[in-house]
């Protein structure tokens, strides 16, 4: 995909992220979810480090050992019947685990020492939104700008307040709504957008499934669909941990962050307005049948450490059930551009990548900003504003040379930091670590930033263009441009492959420098079955299986000559040599169940093991990765599948439904995990339809989390057929 082609349709607004938070492993060494088996720990447990075992045993607790030699203590009093009530209380305060308070007091949270204990008022097993439904619900997203080139190196940005001269078909989109609803004009419509993690504990690969996206409005009071289509699955990339400066504190991460999701929307020909289609075709220069979609999620606001007893249960967004509701509210910004077949990737931009090296992290002048950048104060009794870092790590910027339009485009939508201004009221149900929301937002003023081209032969650099806060990247202008800045191609340069791009500050300090290589994959998040062969293919988006293909670029051009690099297994930190070239396939090990993040690199800094906090932040912002999930073989289920043992509801619950009862409890509110409910023929027919592999890429697929193994899926379908036939 590409955010660089024209015409460019830019948007901004807000969404509700109703993510469930019960299985994310936030409070390790408290363990409630076994990701390798895709089943909960029943009962939950506390892992005990070897040095603590004698002490914990002396306190009278039974320290058991798992097959890997990891010591743990089961919280035996927390049964399925009381699990939900326990999960939404502070650890040791629910009444269901009183006998384990001494254990909690003597076990610290994982992390740099000294860490508070599990009993120090921060640990809530279900975290801040235990009953989330995985939905991404568009509250109000509007078209903020339309950008058209004149092919002479100039790009005009039209906005709802300044549309004179904008082509008529595109002009009608300005100010209209961008949405993922099933039926946009139905006030009770549900969203078709869902979040799903490949690795639900470590959050190395969050996926966004959307079954319908469109632009809608009511010109002259008449309901109108301007365009709509089906996006492919996308996965987040280029994670920033310092997008929001005054959320940039360890206590608030990932609220400080921003991240890309990139997808391609296959347009519905019969739902694309003729005038819109005509203008798309004219300025793209070809028949536009698909749009590239770049999304930036940022300005994440979460009510942390909440008091569930005070939390609202009224319908909100997509979640219409009577459960406790505390979704995150998030800004949603980006662009829609024509997809160029044979040039663009479906889930990544093909461009040149500019990185902010650790040594060049910019210093932030909090007091000198206008207005000054203020840190929030948590609700607790301390009443001290949170500390903020003096320097920040910026995620990459991207450049593409567009010879047809005679422009060089620079995408800095996630590279320019922002900060909240003015505090709203604290939440009525917030806990001690909750902070107030910001009322408005501003982009940080880095001064004048200049894009330069530096030839390899040592001749003088050429200035491509400059941007400044007042004219180019103040918040309103920035959002109207989709965070992309365009400059005329400078004269005198015949070959941009013979040099590198860089961004300098007004005092000539290097802020970003181009990395020669860019490695990506449209199968960045993929699934395999334990023990399968690579030739069987991997599941990534939609029905069927296929290879994981790496796209490799050198200065924006496909890398045709195999080039030696390395791949690092994120679990073992072991390296293997790998020859990268554009279109090469990547095969991964399936012997063991679980999740692995593979780090891909050609230059050394891309595959070195991060050892300091700064290096870890740099890697998160700039690393090239492929995340995988190998689903457990679950061979113990074969006795039920082949009829050797009878399939009972208890077997179904223990091996499948218990997972969702504990880590996706919204399912229990919608479809209670009771035998009479899960034996009703109509319900089971619906279940068969939703578990059909052809629906795997859709928002209604069951399970939404996509973590059932082949045998688990077969067991669920076998149960449904038995009940239908009976």
Is residue 255 within 8 Å of 243, Cβ to Cβ? Answer: no
Helices (H) and strands (E) in the chain, counts: 13, 36
For CA atoms 7, 11, 16, 20, the dihedral sign is positive
pLDDT classification of 347: cutoffs 50, 70, 90: very high
Share of the chain above pLDDT 70, in %: 99
For residue 120, what are the contacts with CB-CB under 8 A and spacing of at least 6?
Answer: none
Q: Which helix (H) or strand (E) holds 628?
A: strand 624-631
The set of long-range contacts for 188-192, using a CB threshold of 8 Å and a minimum separation of 24, is 190/135, 190/318, 191/135, 191/136, 191/137, 191/138, 191/317, 191/318, 191/699, 192/698, 192/699
Annotate 658-683 with b (16+ C-beta within 10 A) or e (fewer).
Answer: bbbbbbbbbbbeebebeeeebbeeee
29 and 328 Cβ atoms separated by less than 8 Å = no
Residue 90: is its pLDDT beyond 90?
A: yes
CA pair distance 29, 6, nearest whole angstrom: 50
Return phi, psi of residue 90, to 5°: -65, 145
DSSP3 helix / strand / coil % (the chain, rounded to 5) = 20, 35, 50
Assess whether pLDDT exceeds 70 at residue 705: yes
Residue 173: the pLDDT is 98
Section 44-51 average pLDDT: 96
Least confident segment among 19-28, 78-87, 325-334, 611-620 = 611-620
pLDDT for residue 598: 94
Mean pLDDT, residues 504-527 taken together? 96
Residue with tokens 């949603």: 332
Predicted local distance difference test score (pLDDT) of residue 617? 77
Instruction: Give residue 5's pLDDT.
Output: 93
Q: Taking Cα atoms as reference points, which of 187, 196, 185, 285 lies closest to residue 228? A: 185
Residue 466 has pLDDT above 90, yes or no: yes
CA 197, CA 192: separation in Å to the nearest integer? 17
pLDDT at 202: 73
Question: Which of 70-74, 235-239, 260-264 is predicted least confidently?
Answer: 235-239
Is the four-CA dihedral 438, 476, 135, 188 of positive or negative sign? positive
Instruction: Determine the Cα–Cα distance for residues 616 and 82; give it in Å rounded to an integer.
Output: 39
Whole-number percent of the chain with pLDDT over 90? 84
Residue 723, both tokens = 């009940």
Tell me: the pLDDT tens digits for 113-135?
788 999 987 899 999 999 999 99
Asked if 5 and 124 touch (Cβ cutoff 8 Å), the reply is no
pLDDT at 353: 97
Per-residue pLDDT at 227 exceeds 90: yes
pLDDT at res. 663:
80
Please check the confidence at residue 509 and state whether its pLDDT lies above 90: yes
Q: Is 615 exposed, middle or buried (0-12, 13-18, 19+ CB in 10 A)?
A: middle
Averaged confidence pLDDT in the chain: 94
pLDDT digits (tens, 9 = 90+) for 373-382: 999 999 986 7
**Mean pLDDT within 299-304:** 95
Please report which helix (H) or strand (E) contains residue 647, including its range: none
Task: Give yes or no for residue 1 having a pLDDT over 70.
Answer: no
Confirm if 658 and 80 have CB atoms less than 8 A apart: yes
Considering Cα of 149, then 150, then 152, then 157, what sign does the dihedral take? Answer: negative
Cα dist from 291 to 157, 267, 271, 322, whole Å: 19, 7, 14, 38
Cα atoms found within 13 Å of the Cα of residue 329, Cβ hemisphere only: 14
Strands 525-529 and 624-631: parallel
Residue 590 is predicted with a pLDDT of: 96
**If DSSP codes are grouped into helix, strand and coil, which group holds residue 221?**
helix
Threshold 0.75, pTM exceeds: yes
What 3 state SS string does 487-545 have?
EECCCCCCCCCCEEEEEECCCCCEEEEEECEEEECCCCEEEEECCCCHHHCEECCCCCC
Q: What is the 3-state secondary structure (H, E, C) of 226-241?
A: EEEEEECCEECEEEEC
Instruction: Quote the CA–CA distance of 656 and 651 in Å, as a whole number.
Output: 8
Task: Point out the least confidently predicted range of 26-35, 49-58, 484-493, 617-626.
Answer: 617-626
Write the CA distances from 597 to 201, 525, 571, 629, 638, integer angstroms.
12, 9, 7, 9, 30
What is the pLDDT at residue 494? 86
- Residue 200 confidence (pLDDT): 81
| Predicted pLDDT at 619 | 83
Q: Give residue 201's pLDDT.
A: 80
Per-residue pLDDT band at 621 (split at 50, 70, 90): confident
Higher pLDDT, residue 22 or 278: 278
Half-sphere exposure of 335 (CA within 13 A, CB side): 29
Mean pLDDT of the 620-627 span? 89
Instruction: Say if CB 307 and CB 654 are below 8 A apart.
Output: no
* Span 704-721, average pLDDT: 94
Bridge partners of 484, per DSSP, are: 411
pLDDT of residue 605: 73
pLDDT of the residue at 614: 78
Mean pLDDT of 328-355: 95
In tens, the pLDDT along 49-79 reads 999 999 999 999 999 999 999 999 999 999 9
Residues 474, 506: Cα–Cα separation, whole Å: 17
Residue 250 confidence (pLDDT): 86
Gap between the terminal Cα atoms of the chain: 49
| CB 621 within 8 Å of CB 396 | yes
Structure tokens at 720: 């449904």
pLDDT digits over 385-412, tens only?
A: 999 999 999 999 999 999 989 999 999 9
Find out whether 394 and 240 touch, Cβ atoms under 8 Å: yes
Could you give the C-alpha distances from 120 to 48, 572, 610, in angstroms and in order? 17, 32, 30
């Amino acid at each position: 995909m590409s955010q660089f082609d024209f015409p460019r349709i830019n948007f901004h607004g807000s969404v509700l992220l109703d993510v469930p938070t019960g299985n994310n492993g936030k409070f390790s060494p408290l363990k409630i979810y076994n990701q390798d088996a895709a089943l909960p720990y029943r009962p939950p447990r506390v892992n005990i480090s070897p040095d603590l075992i004698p002490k914990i045993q002396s306190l009278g607790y039974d320290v058991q050992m798992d097959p890997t030699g990891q010591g743990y203590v089961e919280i035996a009093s927390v049964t399925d019947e009381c699990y939900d009530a326990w999960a939404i209380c502070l650890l040791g305060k629910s009444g269901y685990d009183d006998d384990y308070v001494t254990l909690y007091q003597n076990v610290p949270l994982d992390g740099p020492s000294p860490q508070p204990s599990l009993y120090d008022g921060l640990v809530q097993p279900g975290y801040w939104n235990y009953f989330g439904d995985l939905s991404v619900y568009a509250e109000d997203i509007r078209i903020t700008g339309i950008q058209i080139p004149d092919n002479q190196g100039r790009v005009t940005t039209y906005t709802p307040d300044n549309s004179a001269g904008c082509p008529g078909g595109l002009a009608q989109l300005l100010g209209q709504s961008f949405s993922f609803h099933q039926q946009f004009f139905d006030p009770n419509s549900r969203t078709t957008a869902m979040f799903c993690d490949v690795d639900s504990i470590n959050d190395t690969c969050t996926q966004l499934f959307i079954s319908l996206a469109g632009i809608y409005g009511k010109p002259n009071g008449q309901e109108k669909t301007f365009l709509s289509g089906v996006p492919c699955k996308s996965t987040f990339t280029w994670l920033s941990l310092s997008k929001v400066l005054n959320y940039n504190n360890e206590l608030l991460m990932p609220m400080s962050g921003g991240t890309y999701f990139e997808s391609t929307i296959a347009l519905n020909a019969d739902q694309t307005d003729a005038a819109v289609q005509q203008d798309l075709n004219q300025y793209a220069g070809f028949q536009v049948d698909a749009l590239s979609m770049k999304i930036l999620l940022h300005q994440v606001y979460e009510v942390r450490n909440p008091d569930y007893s005070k939390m609202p249960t009224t319908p909100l967004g997509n979640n219409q059930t009577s459960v406790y509701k505390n979704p995150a509210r998030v800004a949603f910004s980006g662009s829609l551009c024509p997809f160029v077949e044979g040039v663009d990737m479906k889930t990544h931009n093909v461009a040149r990548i500019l990185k902010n090296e650790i040594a060049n992290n910019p210093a932030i002048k909090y007091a000198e900003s206008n207005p000054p950048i203020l840190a929030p104060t948590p609700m607790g009794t301390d009443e001290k504003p949170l500390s903020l870092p003096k320097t920040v790590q910026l995620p990459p910027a991207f450049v593409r040379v567009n010879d047809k339009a005679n422009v060089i485009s620079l995408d800095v939508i996630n590279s320019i930091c922002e900060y909240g201004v003015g505090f709203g009221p604290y939440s009525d149900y917030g806990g001690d670590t909750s902070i107030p929301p910001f009322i408005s937002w501003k982009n940080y003023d880095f001064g004048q930033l200049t894009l330069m081209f530096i030839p390899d032969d040592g001749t003088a650099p050429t200035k491509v263009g400059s941007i400044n806060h007042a004219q180019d990247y103040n918040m309103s202008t920035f959002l109207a441009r989709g965070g992309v800045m365009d400059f005329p191609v400078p004269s005198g340069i015949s070959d941009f492959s013979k040099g590198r791009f860089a961004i300098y500050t007004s005092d000539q300090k290097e802020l970003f420098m181009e990395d020669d290589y860019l490695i990506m994959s449209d199968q960045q998040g993929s699934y395999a079955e334990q023990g399968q062969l690579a030739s069987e293919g991997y599941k990534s988006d939609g029905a069927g299986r296929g290879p994981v293909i790496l796209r490799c670029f050198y200065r924006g051009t496909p890398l045709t000559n195999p080039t030696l690099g390395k791949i690092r297994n994120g679990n073992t930190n072991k390296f293997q040599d790998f020859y990268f070239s554009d279109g090469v396939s990547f095969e991964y090990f399936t012997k063991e169940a679980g999740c692995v993040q593979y780090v891909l690199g050609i230059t050394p800094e891309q595959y070195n093991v991060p050892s300091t906090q700064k290096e870890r932040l740099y890697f998160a912002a700039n690393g090239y990765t492929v995340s995988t999930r190998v689903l457990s073989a679950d061979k113990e289920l074969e006795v039920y599948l082949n009829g050797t043992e009878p399939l009972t509801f208890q077997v179904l619950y223990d091996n499948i439904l218990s997972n969702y009862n504990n880590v996706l409890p919204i399912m229990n509110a919608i479809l209670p995990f009771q035998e009479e409910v899960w034996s009703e023929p109509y319900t089971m027919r619906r279940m068969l339809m939703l578990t059909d592999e052809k629906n795997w890429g859709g928002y209604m697929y069951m399970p939404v989390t996509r973590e059932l193994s082949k045998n688990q899926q077969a067991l669920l379908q076998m149960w449904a057929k038995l009940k239908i036939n009976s």
